[in-house]
Amino acid sequence: MKTVKILGSGCKRCLATAEMARQEAARLGVPIALEKVTDMAEIASYGLAATPGVVVDGKVVHAGGLTKPEEWAKWLAD
C-alpha cells in the first residue's frame, strides 16, 4: 500500500492530477491511499514552489504542472 498525497488548492490541474493518480494506480494494480491536501500551511511545509504537488510515501516527487502516465509508473513501481 502506497500513500499518495496530492498537494493543491483544489484547482483544475490538482483535480486532474488526483484523477490520474487513481487511474494509473488502478491500471498498474498498485493499491494506494489517496489523500488530497488543501491546507496551505501543510502544502508549504513540503517546500514546494508550485502546485499541484505529488508526495509518494512522504517524498515529494513532483511540483507544478500536469503529470504524465509514465511518471506514475515510475513513482508507484518501487
Partner 1 sequence: MSMPLSLRAAAPRPRPGLWIGATLAALAAWFALYWQLEGFSGWLVGLLPITPGTHLDEAVRFFAFDTPKVLMLLALVVFAMGVVRSFFSPAHTRALLAGRREGVGNVAAAVLGVFTPFCSCSAVPLFVGFVSAGVPLGVTFSFLVAAPMVNEVALGLLFALVGWRVAVTYLVFGLGLAMVSGWVIGRLHLESWLEEWVRNVRATAADLPPERLSVIDRIRAGLEAMRDIVGRVWVWLIVGIAAGAFIHGYVPAELLAAIMGRGEWWAVPAVVLLGVPMYSNAAGIIPVVEALLGKGVALGTVLAFMMSVIALSAPEMIILRKVLTLRLIAVFAGVVACGIVAVGYLFNALFV
Using CB atoms within 10 Å of the CB of residue 4, give its burial: 0 to 12 exposed, 13 to 18 middle, 19+ buried: buried
- 3 in contact with partner 1 (CB under 8 A): no
Sign of CA dihedral 75, 53, 49, 45: negative
Q: Catalytic pick from 9, 11, 35, 40? A: 11
Shortest spacing between CB 41 and partner 1, in angstroms: 5
Shortest spacing between CB 31 and partner 1, in angstroms: 25
- Interface mask toward partner 1 for 45-74; x: CB under 8 A: xxxxxxx-x------xxxxxxx--------
Neighbours of 22 (CB within 10 A): 14
